Amino acid sequence: MSAALPQNPSRRSVLKGLGMAVLAAGPLSACAFGSDDKPANNGPTGTVSANNPLGVAANAPLEVVIFKGGLGDAYATEVHEPMYKKAYPEATIKHMPTQQISQTMQPRFASGDVPDVIANSGSDVMDNGALASEGQLLDLTPLFDAPAIGGSGKVRDGLLPGTVEAGILSGKPYLMKYIYTVYGLWYDQALFEKNSWTPATTFEEFDALLGKIKAAGLKPYAYAGKNASYYQYWMIAITAAKIAGNQVLIDMDNLKEGVWTSEPVLKAATAWAEIGKKYLDPSFEGLTHTEVQTAQNQGQIGFYPSGSWLENEQKEQTPATFKYGLTPTPSVTSSDKLPFGAVRAAAGEAYIIPAKAKNPQGGLEYMRMMLSKEGARGFSEKTGNITVVKGAADGLPLSPGTKASNDALNKAGDNIITYNLFEDWYKEFETELRAKTNALMFGRITPDQFCKDVQAKADAVRNDSAVTKQNRTS
């Protein structure tokens, strides 16, 4: 910790005067990464063949570290590790589950004794950006360029759009993002069937449908203003992208001049503000996401904007009769650039291979098996989540919500709306956007004002030399 403190003459001299400097700095200075400059070893290699394109040494041991959280670790011990064992019977696999990735892995990174594959997840996740900039991660390009198992073409060809890109740090694919999250409007299929409501494809239909739901005594639309107003600005961004394509979102991330005041964003904000004005109960501004989501489970709410983790998050509160369904956001105009079926989807949950792994080829091969249809299908069976592998979950007995996500993805095809990176890049901007989203949706400012205010903040951040700027091209 103390290595992170700045040089501070006044503090130094004060402490020195007291003879306490050593006491204060000594035991705390054990920092995250040691100065182990051992060059990345290439590990043992075997003969490259059609079945072994990465040249794995058949007898080299493999160590796999899995974050054992909501997904469990059965997908590794019962699916991926047996696959590896079957292909390389001579190899011994060491499986290590942990709930504290950072606490168990950082000391090992410091000493250079690292495993071959890590599921870097959970609340104690290691900072991938820091690992990459310290040269601790293996470039996964060979994995994505290797031939896919049991399919034709390369591994990267069998993945859903945006998967490889989601794992790029400073220009190189260091992360293998495995789970695919789909965003949209969630509702109770059973409730909708009972009332013969069908999700709308245009904002006009949406308006009419929400009117019907309201007439039935429900709150037709809700999001949690107290702590999750970003769920709502996602919808505004998604709608803007539907109108004018992904470039709008890329421009937002690049803090481009005038993007928030541009016509697609203004149209999207206007469409959603209208929904807010007519159908959003003012009490939702003061409720948390848990409270609103539970109210939906109790049959009080029509649509709720969120991502595909929702069903799993609400498992405890959801009655058996409740069946999560997902619909894409409605279209604004008939000349929208993206079709109604377009959904925002993004790859998440990073798996990494340390640059100094003892068996990096084995690690890459293990990931290649994870990304095979068989491996991905097994993962979906064990965890109920869909992976980045195209069509791997088709035909599986999935939960209603997961099936809805999978169907939405299949319908969307290549019309995938990109994720906004400003959420991680420019927190100050993001905080302002949250506040303005509430103000817009609960009718305190006009769409015009919303666009102007948000653009003003974007301009301020762009002109703030103290903020490190990022850039994306796709």
Partner 1 sequence: MRMPRGGARFVISFLALPIIIYVIFVIAPYLQAFYLALTDWKGITASPKFVGFKNFEVLFSDSVFWKAVLHHGILLLVLPLVTLIIALFFAFLLNMGAGTKGVRGSRFYQAVFFFPQVLAVAVIGVLFQAMYRPDKGGVLNGLLDLVGVEPIGWLTKPNLALWMLIAVLVWQAVGFYVVLFAAGMASIPKEIVEAAQLDGCSKGRMFFQVTLPLLWDTMQVAWVYLGIAAFDGFAIVQVLSVDRGGPDGSTTVLPLEIWRNAFTFSKYGYASAMGVALFVLSLTFAVLTLRVTRRERIEY
Chain residues that interact with partner 1, rule: CB under 8 A: 3-8, 10-11, 14-15, 18, 20, 24, 225-227, 229, 281-287, 427-428, 431, 434-435, 438-439, 442, 444, 466
Query: In this complex, which beta carbon is closest to partner 1, that of residue 42 or of residue 283?
Result: 283
Query: In this complex, which beta carbon is closest to partner 1, that of residue 230 or of residue 419?
Result: 230
The DSSP annotation for 385-437 comes to --BSBTTTTTTS---HHHHHHHHHHHHHTT-EEPPPSHHHH-HHHHHHHHHHH
Nearest to 393 by CA among 416, 373, 415: 373
Judging by DSSP bridges, how do beta strands 301-307 and 219-221 pair with one another?
parallel
Query: In this complex, which beta carbon is closest to partner 1, that of residue 98 or of residue 455?
Result: 455
Query: In this complex, which beta carbon is closest to partner 1, that of residue 2 or of residue 198?
Result: 2
CB of 394 to partner 1, least distance (A): 41
Query: What gap in Å lies between CA 453 and CA 231, rounded to an integer?
Result: 19
Query: What gap in Å lies between CA 273 and CA 304, rounded to an integer?
Result: 15
- Amino acid found at 190: A
Helix (H/G/I), strand (E/B), else coil: 363? helix
CB of 466 to partner 1, least distance (A): 5
**Cβ pair 332, 342 in contact under 8 A:** no
Distant-in-sequence, close-in-space partners of 181: CB < 8 Å, separation ≥ 6: 307, 308, 309, 345, 346, 347, 348
Strand blocks (E) in 73-230: 93-98, 117-120, 168-169, 172-173, 176-188, 219-221
Query: In this complex, which beta carbon is closest to partner 1, that of residue 15 or of residue 169?
Result: 15
Query: In this complex, which beta carbon is closest to partner 1, that of residue 17 or of residue 395?
Result: 17
Query: In this complex, which beta carbon is closest to partner 1, that of residue 35 or of residue 196?
Result: 35
CB of 295 to partner 1, least distance (A): 8
Query: In this complex, which beta carbon is closest to partner 1, that of residue 232 or of residue 327?
Result: 232
Q: What is the CA radius of gyration of the chain?
A: 25
Query: What gap in Å lies between CA 366 and CA 326, rounded to an integer?
Result: 33
Buried b (16+ CB within 10 A) or exposed e, 143-178: bbebbbbeeeeebbebbbbbbbebbebeeebbbbbb
CB of 427 to partner 1, least distance (A): 5
CB of 310 to partner 1, least distance (A): 21
Q: Residue 307: enclosing H or E segment and its boundaries?
A: strand 301-307
CB of 18 to partner 1, least distance (A): 6
Nearest to 191 by CA among 220, 223, 224, 232: 220
CB of 26 to partner 1, least distance (A): 14
Query: In this complex, which beta carbon is closest to partner 1, that of residue 96 or of residue 421?
Result: 421
CB of 5 to partner 1, least distance (A): 7
**Cβ pair 438, 285 in contact under 8 A:** yes
CB of 226 to partner 1, least distance (A): 5
CB of 389 to partner 1, least distance (A): 35
**Cβ pair 367, 177 in contact under 8 A:** no
Query: In this complex, which beta carbon is closest to partner 1, that of residue 52 or of residue 290?
Result: 290
**Cβ pair 183, 327 in contact under 8 A:** no
Query: In this complex, which beta carbon is closest to partner 1, that of residue 253 or of residue 432?
Result: 432
CB of 29 to partner 1, least distance (A): 11
